[in-house]
């Protein structure tokens, strides 16, 4: 998905306080949460979104993947 997806491995507080502000008034953000990069559900979602990459770009949608730490 190229630049549509940004992979993040940050504590949620840091993510909300710092990372999202750079997208304010510029992009529509879609947050995906997963335990790790090999998560089957995450990979299915990303595959489905790749099929609609042009539409996502037209709508200025940026997908952020957040890996949850336990």
* Whole-number pLDDT of residue 20: 75
Which long-range contacts (C-beta less than 8 Å, at least 24 apart) are formed by 31-34? Answer: 31/64, 31/66, 32/63, 32/64, 32/65, 32/66, 33/65, 33/66, 33/68, 34/65, 34/66, 34/67, 34/68
* Whole-number pLDDT of residue 15: 57
Who has greater pLDDT, 16 or 36? 36
Q: Does the pLDDT value for residue 39 go beyond 90?
A: yes
* Whole-number pLDDT of residue 31: 87
* Whole-number pLDDT of residue 7: 53
């Amino acid at each position: 998905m190229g630049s549509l997806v940004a992979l993040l491995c940050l504590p949620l507080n840091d993510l909300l306080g710092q990372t999202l502000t750079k997208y304010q008034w510029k992009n529509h953000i879609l947050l995906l949460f997963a335990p790790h990069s090999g998560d089957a559900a995450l990979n299915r979602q990303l595959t489905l979104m790749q099929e609609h990459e042009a539409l996502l770009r037209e709508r200025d949608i940026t997908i952020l993947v957040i890996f949850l730490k336990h």
